[in-house]
Chains A and B, each alone.
Chain A
């Protein structure tokens, strides 16, 4: 039930054609993205509300200072910058895939879709490493006058304010909201990346099976692209809220 034959010469809003010159599928995708933006918006605003009601918050430069295969390093935000770069790069390859689609170049679409999928998988891999690092990494914390070793979970935060204990500076438990929101929001975003990869794989297979070539256009790639760019855009906000501020 796609748009009925477009009548040339009729006005944009007078019926018989799409007022935005966009297919219903694209209109749907845009509204879906608005809806999803409200979901993420609610999460991030909740995070902001709680974070700024705390007396103390973690220092991201201290929490996110590790890098894979480099042992105990002090490279603040280096790894997350790499992750972000990978994700943004995959957005670029997505644009190129859409562009190839406009040119009806099947081989080009396939190539850039593969790069996009690879970028998404790399990002998810990075996220898995970061989560593992936080969940397993032990940190010295002063709890009720005793030293304990804590990892970072939804209910533990070893990055609280530092106090003097036996002549050295030790951290005390920090607000547990940090771990809760970090894992919840990055997890929800990661789930979006995961679904995006699944969608992209389907798009790649449909391209390979010449579905879009037979249809005469690659609009599905564009719609998948809209979703993928949205997921990237959300990451920019997540990055801002958890790593930069």
Chain B
């Protein structure tokens, strides 16, 4: 079976038309995982029983001649920060090594209700904190294109699995670039929807005002199908928007001629690798050739995005991660005498270095005497960053940028310098802070055959436009 070209529609119609079975598709993917994943490390847990039951359900529907749901029989992977009832969910952390959630994340439940077969849980940086997947407490993920390089992070397993044909699509999460940057590094499509477009219920919280769930896929169309499936109001998440979900797939083929695409000089400055610059500029030329109008825009506060992000994200994380105290569901160190000692020693042993660093930074930024100087200041700059986009989107329909300043770097290259690692997200974090949607599509390779990503940012709740531009670029 050729898994390389297997998209959602190809898989679903093969099962529908009885050319294959969902069971055979599922088993072919498990076989592929068995062959490939030993060296890549994308999966943390396989959910075989659950997958085979669902596959069987889809096969029976097809045998009865019933129409399969939109993802009927399609093998998918779920980043291990999303809760799956009865299937271990670690968030890449030792502190949740044995955690079996008693309920499903809404996005996962919606995918399964649409017929998807959940193969297992994808490796990631611990609590989604990282840009290289080296912060997983279990194993680093390696880039399928070059095993000496990182797949990006934090959704590194989700990106690598799609790139290596170990899943048709996966779900990832994006707090500062964690879907788009690994998609770019691994040569796949990654979509971060608008904040509030997809329910966060059941997503293990990192930074609640910045966390987004979205798909990683082989094609833009697959990303659109998944978004259509998981988007929409969920009463279990008060921040999920009560705004109608358009048919993203039907909108894909609308013409892009006449669309205005902004190019901001702030995204092409110092630190941008020459090969990445050339590939992105060539992509912009191609979009111009498709009839898009290229308009210069300015996003003047861009240089302040990373410092703003590292205050807000860590402040929220320090609060969200307080729940891991060894009482209800996380690791507890034995042989301690007092409650306070139990908290401290359990957290010391359960959290990795980057998570502790961020908890410390966030706690410091929120502590008495520093709250105004750091947290409040960062919230105000967040307003300025958002206004930059508001201003730009008065003139353009979407903004095109590189996804990441470089292609995939080597394992170990940045792991001893937290600040250098943070700068890998320089082109992605601002969209998270503003809550606007963004997509990364492959736009060529470096001389060393490493994928490069083109990022397209859109207006709040206008995923349709960025999907349309990405689709037109991909098909051209």
Q: Do A and B bind each other?
A: no
Which A residues lie at the B interface, using CB under 8 A? none
